[in-house]
Amino acid sequence: MKHRVRAATLAAAALALAACSTTAPTASGGGGGDDVRTGNGVTADGITIGMITDLSGPFAAGAAVQVTETQAYWDQVNADGGICDRDVTVDVQDHGYDPQRAVTLYRSMAPDVVALQQVLGGPTSAAVLPLAEQDSVYVGGVGWAGSALAYENNQLPGASNAIQAANAIDYMVDELDVPEGSTVGVVYFTGDYGGDALAGAEHAAEERGLQILAQEITPATTDLSAQASALAQADVAGVVLAAAPTQLASLAGVLSSQGADVPIIGMNPTFNPSLLTTPAADALLANAYSMTSVSPYDNPDSPGVQAANELYASADPTGATGWEVPLAYVQAELLRQALEGACESGDLTPEGVVAAFRDGGEVDTEGVLPDGLDYSQVGQSPTTTVFVSKVSADAEAGLELLDQVSGPSAESFSYGG
């Protein structure tokens, strides 16, 4: 009996070890005949990357656009010869915006992928990032919250939320005639995204001699009447909004109806072209701006954005256009450059991919992200430059690009300092 128990224990332990084990790096290129060291997710003729996204939860529609664009991108890369003479396969999994499911999926995928191009969502990526960091697995596309910058394995697609918000304040003062000494509203979601934006706005307000009136909300707050009345009562000269499209339209509409026609600058995901069909359209066209890390959809001067849009149009001619298209493209582009860097340095392992994007080399996204990205410093935003757009009925996807800016407060902002 004792033997049987021991045997069973041993068998269970062996099974557990087998389940947890990861492929040890091999120096022979996974049998490929080249001199590249390989590890998880890389074989002699194939590379597997992962994408843990939300195909059944609240962000399903936008996520589907990103999946389509990502697949089209890697199909094209494969058609052009692949990476390191290997075809790239994308393993797309659905976490349904559930952090627990995201962790389970990560655990099951980690032994078979070399990198994760995206873990969509704040709470889901916050659950996966520390585990992936322990395993030295690259994670891209987790949004722009400053908290993600602390992870060496995370590559942020452009400026963080705090940098966007600091730039928003700078832009108000420098370009939109918001006078020194006035009060600016900050309406923000509870959590990483909104908290980071508030930190940037507070820093910039102090630098530029403005007062901040902060209003915290949740995604369930779809009627911002009370917040708008409070902002109008404080006679704010502008509003920084770190929320979602529903909140932008409500705030713009109510402020305008109260005669407070002040600029409202939304962060990355705050605008959606369908808002222009709502009763708030006039107020949005008059007062709303967007301060984004990634170029808007309508950017004829950027070859990268044009390539992204053409790729999407051929993959899904009737698909919804918007900022997700250039975003998904550039996430794939960042990972492609990291994979190629790893290949060139002869280390196509998960660790090699992280080292490749952190090596301080040049990152060129052909205008989808600002030039001069610097990923060599863990803990700081890779750039202080953002795109400023104005809501416009004439622009494709509703945003007309005005400028790229890097304000003095954005440049003086430092995480942890």
Partner 1 sequence: MSYFLEQVLNGLSYGLVLSLIAAGFAIVFTSTGVLNFAHGSVVLLGAYLVAVLHDTIGFWPAVLVGLAGAAVVGVAINALLVRNLADPNPGTAAILMLGVDIVLLTELTRRIGNQVLTLGAPWGASVVRLGDVTLPTGRVLAAGVTVVAFGALWYLFSRTDLGVGMRAAAADGPTASLMGIRLSRTAATGWALAGILAAVAGIFLTSFPAPGVAPTVALSAFAAIPAWVLGGFDSVPGAVVGGLLIGLTSALVTGYEAELEPFLGSGFGEVAPYVVMIVVLLVRPSGLLGSKEAVRV
What residue ranges bind partner 1 (CB under 8 A)? Answer: 56-62, 65, 190, 213-230, 233-234, 244-246, 249-250, 253-254, 256-259, 272, 274-275, 277-280, 282-283, 320, 322, 324
Question: Contact 339/352 with Cβ under 8 angstroms?
Answer: no
Q: How far apart are CA 333 and CA 310, in angstroms?
A: 15
Q: Of the two residues 129 and 165, which places its CB atom closer to partner 1 in the complex?
A: 165
Residue among 68, 73, 49 nearest 139 (CA): 49
Instruction: Give least dist CB 166 to partner 1, A.
Output: 19
Instruction: Give least dist CB 27 to partner 1, A.
Output: 46
Instruction: Give least dist CB 329 to partner 1, A.
Output: 17
Q: Of the two residues 78 and 278, which places its CB atom closer to partner 1 in the complex?
A: 278
Q: Of the two residues 65 and 72, which places its CB atom closer to partner 1 in the complex?
A: 65
List of residues 6+ apart from 113 with CB closer than 8 A: 40, 41, 48, 49, 50, 91, 137
Q: Of the two residues 66 and 153, which places its CB atom closer to partner 1 in the complex?
A: 66
Q: Of the two residues 52 and 249, which places its CB atom closer to partner 1 in the complex?
A: 249
Instruction: Give least dist CB 227 to partner 1, A.
Output: 6
Instruction: Give least dist CB 207 to partner 1, A.
Output: 21
Q: Which residues pair with 387 in a beta bridge?
A: 292, 404
Q: Of the two residues 194 and 407, which places its CB atom closer to partner 1 in the complex?
A: 194
Instruction: Give least dist CB 122 to partner 1, A.
Output: 15
Instruction: Give least dist CB 174 to partner 1, A.
Output: 26
Identify the burial level of 180 via C-beta atoms within 10 angstroms of its C-beta, where 0-12 means exposed, 13-18 middle and 19 or more buried. exposed
Q: Of the two residues 251 and 332, which places its CB atom closer to partner 1 in the complex?
A: 251
Instruction: Give least dist CB 221 to partner 1, A.
Output: 7
Q: Of the two residues 150 and 320, which places its CB atom closer to partner 1 in the complex?
A: 320
